Chains A and B, each alone.
Chain A
Amino acid sequence: MTIATIAPAYTGLEIFWFLIIAVLWSGYFVLEGFDFGVGILLPVVGKTELDRRVMINTIGPVWDGNEVWLLVAGGATFAAFPDWYATLFSGFYLPLFLILAALIFRGVAFEFRAKRVMPQWKLAWDHAIFWGSLLPSILWGVAFANILRGTPIGPNGHYLGSFFNLLNIYSLLGGITTLLLFMLHGSVFLTLKTTGEIRERAQGVAKILAPAATVALLAFLAWTYANAHHAHDTGIVPPFVPILAIAAVAGVGWLLREKLEGWAFVANAVALVGLVATIFLNLYPRVMVSSISPIYNLTIGNAASAPYTLKVMTIVALIFTPLVLVYQGWSYWVFRARVRRPGDPVEAVVDVTTPDSPATEATVAGAVVSGPTDDDGGAP
């Protein structure tokens, strides 16, 4: 009844690489998610130029490393599933162009902002950071929703639709969901990494965003789940994954009120991983769904690279991924301190004061380092 049962055209290696790519996107959402969030909140939380500088400094040393998760996801898809890579990026041409343009301006903005002292100069780059963070935050959600919903893919993996096939209510809901989750992620990150007024403002924003993100995620995952059975090939859609994701983001608001900000960050990371996991579990064993006919679906079988390539890549990944996780985790540890404005008292940090105040900082570093996606078990 399904393609998969007629011809089990895939092996453990292909399943492994499907999993790796899911992990890479989870890592990307968890890590770049908060630096996108900080970028979007720049005009909201940052009242003055100095505020915005403090905010940018919280992500300064790490955003570039976070973005590499995207590049690795892209490269891994190319090597492991060339047809997925080819169909996805040629089919979703315009959104990808917009994402690339946004990431270009955003990336140079971080570097160039402080190079001149003129306020207009800084303001222009603040705009670049805002839009450069906002657009991809929406478009990644739109893209993944469309991958799952199905797009007009015909023979040979050729995308037969237009840009407008990508605009539909389900995918826009996906975009709003990732946007709100990333903004929430960024605001919780800011409460962990700043002091004084900026921190208070970030807390305030987070408390507003938490319920909004919960509603969006609930709606998106409910819709996804409702569609899952009729759209799915093999029926592996364990309901606990989306439920866990929704529960995690629903808990963020409560954790914030309890001043358990480190845990709030972890909870939001769990929600993001749960979102990616739900999407990938629904996709499996497909990688892109054709809305024309299931026979045109790209699957981990028909989109995969040669087994030899997958073996080589597996060896390379097993050797180097732990190493990368260790040093990237270590860099978060190095920059675990809060960033504050010059005038603000050092004691501001004591505000964090919660039952587990000293642990909070450690939790932050630990959360980012050993978030559910990168399992190196905490900072070295």
Chain B
Amino acid sequence: MGIEVRNISKSFGEFKALDDVSIKIDSGELVALLGPSGSGKTTLLRIIAGLEVPDPGSGPIYFHGHDVADQRVGDRGVGFVFQHYALFRHMTVYNNIAFGLTVKPRKIRPSKNEIQQRVRKLLHMIQLDNLADRYPSQLSGGQRQRVALARALAVEPQVLLLDEPFGALDAKVRVELRSWLRHLHDEIHLTSVFVTHDQDEALELADRVAVMNNGKIEQIGTPDEVFHNPATVFVMNFLGQVNQFHGRLLDKGRVRIGQHDNAIDMARQNQNSGPEDPSSAMIFVRPHDFDISENVSENSMSFPARVLRVHSAGNRVRVEMIAESGETLVAETTHQEREHLQIEEGKMYYMTPRSLKVFANNVKQDIIAG
């Protein structure tokens, strides 16, 4: 076990930043804490680091089996990379990286030679060998970020914590640095946690993603799991684009969207799960999960909709539509398909969801097509 925290709560005055959060992170794993601002992800990271004290009554914090909850931040052996780098502005790159080694108590401080060797190695690792004498203000954002990482790694930490590591960088550098960090992690296999509000970053970089909202972890799982099998309405909405319909669960295993005669009925399986029918439900369909067809389909789930706008700049074509029941939706299709069906504004099509997710009272309901 790399890191384990149990029942951590943290309040700032009236505001509850963390509400009884527990998480286990395996040794050598790279985990992302993903969530909107104010969801508590940075607070959790700072509590793990020891920069923030959890509320009384909170549980232990284990690093590799040892409880570090009452250890000072400097003794926990964490490498922490700050969002705005927090490099020492009056020190050169070299001295920044060496800092953690030079402040060690004399007894365990490495010799000058050793320090120099280690810093040189780290400089080489972050590909900044020839910038050792520069000051932070003379570096680009991406270079500063790498120096911050090297500085954190210099003390050979047990765990590496990164707070929005790419938040302050421009889009291109961000993507470059992302894959660089992934490669680095694959090499050194240090148990790492990073905070981000960028879902692409979390899904691409992490072994597992913990999606946070309102001080709680909504779901934790591999990127595949959280994206394809969201456990809650929040995760469904937060990850990727999705069409959201308000409807009701009907008897005979159906959900209904809208209240009019021309409401859409969708088949529903497994009547036993979830609350009593009929009750309000949320139905989610991803834009790329719609089949678009010119003819009425045998499929009971298909419904007619009119094209409002077509956005064709991009890899795929996005079609904004309005269903007869008045619901607006977005469907995604290929350029080929668009040409084939001649999708244009004002035309009517029959839409069939290939896959949909239904939640009633935030409890997931199982539905199958047909």
Do the two shown chains form a genuine complex with each other? Answer: no
Chain A: residues with CB nearer than 8 A to chain B?
none
